[in-house]
Each structure stands twice: as C-alpha cells, then as structure tokens.
Structure 1
Amino acid sequence: MGRHDIKGDAQRIYETVVAGGAVIMPGDVGYAATATSSEALLRLFRAKRRAPHKRHAMGGNYALHREVHQLDQQEQDIIDAVVVDAGLPLTIAARYDASHPVVAAIEPETLAASTVGDTLAMLVNGGALHDEVVSIAHRHSVPLLGSSANLTGTGTKFRVEDIQQPIIDAVDLVVDYGLRKYHHYGRSSTIIDFSTMEVVRVGTCYELISDIFQRQFGIGLPSDPGRETLPSGHLREQASAG
C-alpha cells in the first residue's frame, strides 16, 4: 500500500525489455504492451492477432521527440501548444532522423513495422511512469516500441483486469497502476500525422486538441463521429497503434 514506486518500476521495466522481454505498463491513455527486441515485439504482434498493416508506435517524451522528429517551425509550434503549453497527450507521426542513436538501434525488420513511408509515430505526455521509462531508455539509446495491451479491435484497456489472457501470457512483466487517467475517453491517444496534417486517430483529449488547432492556428480538424459510430477513432489505418 502507498505511493507507486515510479523510479523503481521504471527501472524494472527497462531491465525487462533490454533483456529481451515484453511488459504491460500503465500510461495515462491506457495500458500498453512494450518491448524493444524483434522477437518480443513479434510475440506481442501474434498475441494481439494484429493485421500486417498495423504499426508499432515509439514510446517518447518531449526531449526525444525534438531530437528525432523533423518538423518546420509552424508544425513544431502547434505541437508545443498541445504538449507543452496545454500538457496534453499526443502521438506525433512525423518525418524522422534515421541516424538518431535511438532510431538506429531499432532492428531493420522492426523499423519497417514501426514506420509509414518516412514517418515514425511517437507518444508524448504518456504519464509519469511512461516518461521515466523513456528517460532511462533514451540515456542508453534503447528504443521502446509497442501498442495498446489488447486483442486488436477490442479497444484500449484502462484496467489490468480487462486485458485479455493471451496478452497477459505474452509478456514477462505486468505493472498494475489501476484505473488510468483518461479512461472516460474510451480510446487511446490522438494520432496526428504532421507530414500531411491529417488526423490518423481521434482519441484522448481530441476536443481540446482540436480547439487549440482552430483557435490558435486557424486549422480545422475533422469532427469526432463519436464512439458509437467509430469506436476505435481511426480515420486512417496507417501508423495505427491500437
């Protein structure tokens, strides 16, 4: 009982993935299944019954995003308004620097399953534990890749007890922090492709993100058709991290 040991849990997660394992870990936008080795990621892919066109996303933080993604000034200003000024979670798909040590450490077959054309998707503002794990991995040039901890098509899980058994069986460590912060959205993070300024997935905090785009930059994003019409939120399948 008591406070979560964020630093200790982050170290355990890091040590598990660098040893070739896979982890279910909590984020503000739901539980994710994370790994770094191709073998562990393939194990997760199969456990999730994931279609070949689906992509891994990279666990990130603001510092890693700034080093890896290649954006013009307006694109960066928009992102900063969302993730720095408003502090909202966002998965950013953008052109990337393939020579960056974290990206260069990704095995070729894994990189192919983590990119769409010349873009790589990275979650920023995933929560305190997420940020701590990414910070450790970043220092050691270790990429963290994965997707939501659920069978494909069944929706993001916001409690460990809702994660299906095949996903639990496919990992080496489960970190349970209870009900996640943005559970009321019923979807994972919003994904925006900044190479085309397209919404890939309508997700957490989408109405707040849309308001920032419109109010501060005069950019109108598509309306959310609603969870009953579009439970997954996907407006475009490429770069999906669900």
Structure 2
Amino acid sequence: MSKFAFKTYPQPGTRPDFKADAARVCDCLLSGGIAIVPTEQGYGLLASDPAAIERSFAAKQRKHGHPLGIIGNYGLSRQIHILPAERHEMVRVWNQEFDMSIGVVGPYRHDHPLLTSSLDEETLLKHTKSGTLGMFVGGSPILKEVVNLVLSKGRLVLGSSANLTGTGQKFRVEDVEDAVKDAVDIIIDYGLQRAHVYGVGSMNIDFENLKVLRFGSCYEMFRDYMSRFWDVELPEGPPVPCVPTQ
C-alpha cells in the first residue's frame, strides 16, 4: 500500500464521488491546506490560503517570476478579465458550448473584491505578469465543483500542475513526485487523465492580442474553431500525437 494512502481518495473499496471528494478538497483548501486534484488536463496542485500558496511554490521548487494561475470558470473570467465582449464570447462558446478547457490570459480588474479580499499584494504579484492575469477555465467535474464551492465562500482557488517544475505534466498520481505528494494534505486519485494522449497540459491564450502563449492539449481543435467561427487564423501547433486504434 502506498505511504500516501491515508490521505488519498477514493479510499480502497470505494469509487469516485466527485461531489463528496470536492467537498473534502474545499474543506482542505479553506483550512489552509494543499490538494492534488484531477483536472482532465492532468493532475493539479491547488491552494487558496496565501501561506499554502507559498508551500505550493516550495513543493514544486518553482522559481518566483513563474506565476501560478487562478482556477476559475467562465463567469469569474468575465468578471475579472478586461476584454472586449467578442473576446469573452470566444471563451464562453469554447468552454460552455463545446465543454472545453482553456487558459485565459488578459488584463484584469485590480480592484475586483475577490482579488483584494483573497490575496495580499505580495501574493497577487506572484500570480500576475506584465499587467495580465492567467485563469484556467474548465476542467474535470470535480475541479469545477471545487471552484464553485470555494467561490461560494468568497475565496479563490489557485494552482499549477502537480509536478516538480520542469518535469512535465503528470497524468497519473503515481507519476507525481513524492516530494510533491509529501507536501499536500489530500490527494484525489481518479486514475489516468483524458489529456494523456497529448503529453502536455492546457493551452494558454492571450485573448487581448489573440496570441498563443503556450500550445497545449486540443490546440488543433481550438485553432480550427477560431478559424471556423471567428475568422481568426492562429499558427499551426506541434504535431498531434497519433494513438493507433486497436
């Protein structure tokens, strides 16, 4: 049995219950803890309390200047990001009509109550860059539920991939380094994640300038979507891995 079994859910003999597991994660985050959670894009490292965020940086051996992102939803992005209505609509359709995930980057409302009440100035600086803020919009059912629960308490979820910096996205809990798992308070293990066929995490798009900041999973679909529905031509991304059919 894994040495992390005592803090891993589902417990042996039980099956995933994303609402119950999300409630456990929410309680953990609101009490200052750190969680590993399946995001569909791989496993994520989540925190909410400023001190826990610092522990997340330490666990990942992450250098300052590489900001973590807010984990949110379309509604929160609409409130916080300062973008033209059409750009917000691009995010909405991709996320809500197609049920797809994306990293949204853009200028933001510095005085938004959730930012000013949840994060001190020093912490906020670590999550912004050049006047922009990144927010992951979408994800797995459990991640969406965690976000909704934490937001209902007037707090934010912040996070990054659950791995040592520079080692790549992890799509199974067993592949997450022990140093990271040692640092967290709860682990939700739902097995292999959907985006494993890409071998990378989510894409990040600058929606102010319609610029690709990071190619990621499903980028070829997003590129087609932007061309088809918005007449926006984006650069071709890296080759998509080919998974042979049986």
Q: TM-score, normalised by structure 2?
A: 0.87
Q: 1:107 to 1:227 in 2, by over 3 A?
A: farther
- Cα distance in structure 1, aligned partners of 2:46 and 2:19: 17
Q: Does 1:140 align with 2:159?
A: no
Q: Does 1:188 align with 2:205?
A: no
- Cα distance in structure 1, aligned partners of 2:151 and 2:51: 21
Query: Aligned with 2:194: secondary structure?
Result: coil
**2:54 paired residue among 29, 39, 42:** 42
1:89–1:189 CA contact under 8 A, matched in 2: yes
Mind listing any 5+ residue stretches in structure 2 that lack a counterpart?
A: 1-12, 242-246
Name the stretch that deviates more: 187-196 or 156-165. Answer: 187-196
1:175 aligned residue: 188
Query: Aligned with 1:215: secondary structure?
Result: helix
1:237 aligned residue: none
Q: 1:56 to 1:187 in 2, by over 3 A?
A: same
1:120 aligned residue: 133
**2:177 paired residue among 164, 175, 185:** 164
1:1-242 equivalences in 2 (<5 Å):
1=13, 3-104=15-116, 105-226=118-239
Q: How many residues align?
A: 228
Matched AA of 2:172:
R
2:55–2:183 CA contact under 8 A, matched in 1: yes
Query: Aligned with 1:182: secondary structure?
Result: helix
1:89–1:204 CA contact under 8 A, matched in 2: no
Deviation at 1:225, TM superposition (A): 3.0
Deviation at 1:226, TM superposition (A): 4.1
2:205–2:214 CA contact under 8 A, matched in 1: yes
- Cα distance in structure 1, aligned partners of 2:185 and 2:214: 29
2:9 aligned residue: none
Query: Aligned with 2:105: secondary structure?
Result: strand
2:74–2:92 CA contact under 8 A, matched in 1: no
